[in-house]
């Protein structure tokens, strides 16, 4: 085979994707992440970002990043276990453990890497993994890795606790893991964590929770979904949270018992074999954690904007899913109609992405409206008025 045949086969596949109207493209922002994005010189209201508290543009966090870089340099130089674990990383771990209530925490450069470290490492050969069907792609990839390592993997229908219990009861695997998003990233709904925790206790399973969209937003002081449900930082829970969404910076953490965290540190390949994030990121995240903990006013603003959006769209023929979180999906159904609606909003200087299969189930193409504490009342009013006119 020669190189041109290889690239030609890719080109043919790309043409199929384009013909199906499923080509993805990136918009280049000429402005920082914030309530307004500048694209091709045009200002649009940004309902696409996961910056739920508006901290991505926070000047104190940016200052902590800049000061951190001046003090600690640009890079970490190595993986955490070699020589890349600097004092700001260590301090951030301690702060995250204290904030989440767990004994220990590890930090990662991305949530994707964090998820790849947890499930495949805890689920050795002969283990059984039980995962919600709507889990994030990174959890699905983690599950596939666990499978490649010899674990049995099972997917249960979305939030179907009864179906999950049947699967758990039928399994005689010595190690069981229940793996779920806490807030589902395309639906905005919550996993029934108290029921999942009760099942984990009854069947002596790990409960692995991905709180990418709950951390910073839900619970007292923004401690996340576990705190929202008043659940304990139990040793069988391993909590993952991302730090590039509400926290406004980048990276992720995994928190758990001292033993579970030490095990991941010793054996988690996507922790061990990657360069530690720049220490300045940890400096910025320490400041972000302080802002999250003191961010009740931001969370109150976010909740007020969410209420305004839901009230404003109540009479529409298109329906919002019943989401209590910053992710507000407006179900359109047809792929082309969802894209057309997103484009019509863009014409009105409103950026609301259309999400289509395979990211969401067939027939449920939607607009994914991300609300932020940075949005003003007038921003939400502009969006609801446009949707009333178009939908
Ligand atoms: C965004 C996201 C991740 C990945 O986190 P990154 O830090 O962006 O790699 C993992 N899980 C869920 C549910 C997410 O929404």
Model pLDDT for residues 77-115, shown as the tens digit of each residue: 999 999 999 999 999 999 999 999 999 999 999 999 999
Structural tokens at position 117: 């470290």
Coil vs helix vs strand at 115:
helix
Asked if 213 is an active-site residue, the reply is yes
Taking the CA of residue 184 as reference, the ligand 1 atom at the shortest distance is 13
Q: Quick one: three-class SS letters along 124-148?
A: CCCCEEEEECCCCHHHHHHHHHHHH
d(CA 3, CA 11): 12
| Cα–Cα nearest to 328, from 183, 153, 137, 162 | 183
* Among 76, 185, 270, 286, the one annotated catalytic: 185
d(CA 293, CA 303): 16
Average pLDDT over residues 125-148: 96
Q: What are phi and psi of 95, to 5 degrees?
A: -65, -40
Asked if 245 is an active-site residue, the reply is yes
Ligand 1: centre distance to CA 181 (Å): 10
Which of 211, 242, 246 has most ligand 1 atoms within 8 Å of CB, for mutation?
242
Ligand 1: centre distance to CA 188 (Å): 14
d(CA 81, CA 341): 49
d(CA 375, CA 52): 9
Average pLDDT over residues 358-381: 96
pLDDT score recorded for residue 22: 84
Ligand 1: centre distance to CA 111 (Å): 5
Taking the CA of residue 243 as reference, the ligand 1 atom at the shortest distance is 7
User: Which residue has a Cα nearest atom 14 of ligand 1?
Assistant: 212
Ligand 1: centre distance to CA 242 (Å): 6
List the chain domain ranges. 23-53+296-390, 59-293
In the beta sheet, which residues pair with residue 328?
369
Residue 269 has pLDDT above 60, yes or no: yes
Which of 185, 238, 277 has most ligand 1 atoms within 8 Å of CB, for mutation?
185
* Tens-place pLDDT, residues 189-248: 999 999 999 999 999 999 999 999 999 999 999 999 999 999 999 999 999 999 999 999
Average pLDDT over residues 244-257: 98
Taking the CA of residue 250 as reference, the ligand 1 atom at the shortest distance is 7
For domain 59-293, the CATH architecture is 3-Layer(aba) Sandwich (3.40)
DSSP category for residue 107 = E
Ligand 1: centre distance to CA 212 (Å): 6
Give the percent of the chain with pLDDT over 90.
Answer: 96
Residues with CB under 6 A from ligand 1: 110-112, 115, 136, 138, 181, 185, 210, 212-213, 242, 244, 252
Q: Which helix (H) or strand (E) holds 333?
A: strand 327-333
* Among 80, 85, 228, 245, the one annotated catalytic: 245
Which of 51, 56, 136 has most ligand 1 atoms within 8 Å of CB, for mutation?
136
| Cα–Cα nearest to 343, from 13, 25, 12, 17 | 25
Structural tokens at position 207: 């409960």
Residue 14 has pLDDT above 70, yes or no: yes
Ligand 1: centre distance to CA 348 (Å): 29
| First vs last C-alpha separation in the chain | 51
Evaluate whether 313 touches 323 at the Cβ level (below 8 Å). no
Average pLDDT, the chain: 97
CATH for 23-53+296-390, options being 3.90.1150.10, 3.40.718.10, 3.40.50.720, 3.10.310.30? 3.90.1150.10
Residue 42 has pLDDT above 70, yes or no: yes
User: Which residue has a Cα nearest atom 6 of ligand 1?
Assistant: 111
Residue 1 has pLDDT above 80, yes or no: no
**Which pLDDT band holds residue 2 (cuts at 50, 70, 90)?**
low
């Amino acid at each position: 085979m020669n190189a041109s045949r290889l690239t030609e086969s890719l080109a043919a596949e790309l043409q199929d994707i384009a013909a199906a109207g499923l080509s993805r493209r990136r918009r280049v922002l000429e402005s920082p992440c914030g309530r307004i994005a500048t694209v091709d010189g045009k200002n649009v209201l940004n309902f696409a970002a996961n910056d739920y508290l508006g901290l991505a543009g926070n000047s104190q966090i940016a200052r902590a990043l800049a000061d951190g870089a001046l003090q600690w340099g640009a890079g970490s130089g190595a993986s955490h276990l070699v020589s890349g674990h600097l004092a700001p990383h260590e301090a951030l771990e301690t702060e995250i453990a204290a904030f989440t209530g767990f004994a220990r925490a590890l930090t990662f450069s991305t949530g994707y890497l964090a998820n790849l470290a947890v499930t495949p490492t805890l689920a050795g050969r002969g283990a059984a993994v039980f995962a919600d069907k709507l889990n994030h792609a990174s959890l699905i990839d983690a599950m596939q890795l666990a499978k490649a390592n010899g674990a049995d993997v099972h997917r249960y229908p979305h939030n179907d606790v009864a179906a999950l219990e049947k699967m758990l009861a039928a399994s005689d695997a010595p190690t069981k893991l229940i793996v779920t998003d806490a807030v589902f990233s395309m639906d905005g709904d919550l996993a029934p964590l108290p029921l999942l925790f009760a099942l984990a206790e009854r069947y002596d399973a790990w409960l692995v929770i991905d709180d990418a969209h709950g951390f910073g937003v839900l619970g007292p002081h923004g401690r996340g979904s576990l705190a929202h449900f008043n659940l304990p930082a139990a040793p069988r829970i391993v909590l993952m949270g991302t730090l590039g969404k509400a926290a406004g910076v980048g990276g992720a953490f995994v928190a758990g018992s001292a033993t579970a965290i030490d095990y991941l540190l010793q054996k988690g390949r996507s922790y061990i074999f990657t360069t530690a994030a720049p220490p300045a990121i940890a400096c910025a995240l320490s400041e972000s954690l302080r802002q999250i903990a003191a961010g009740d006013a931001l969370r109150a603003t976010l909740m007020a904007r969410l209420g305004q959006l839901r009230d404003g769209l109540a009479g529409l023929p298109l329906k919002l899913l019943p989401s209590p979180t910053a992710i507000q999906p407006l179900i359109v159904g047809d792929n082309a109609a969802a894209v057309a609606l997103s484009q019509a909003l863009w014409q009105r200087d409103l950026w609301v992405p259309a999400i289509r299969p395979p990211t969401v189930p067939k027939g449920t193409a939607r607009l994914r409206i991300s609300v932020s504490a940075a949005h003003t009342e007038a921003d939400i009013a502009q969006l609801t008025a446009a949707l009333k006119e178009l939908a």
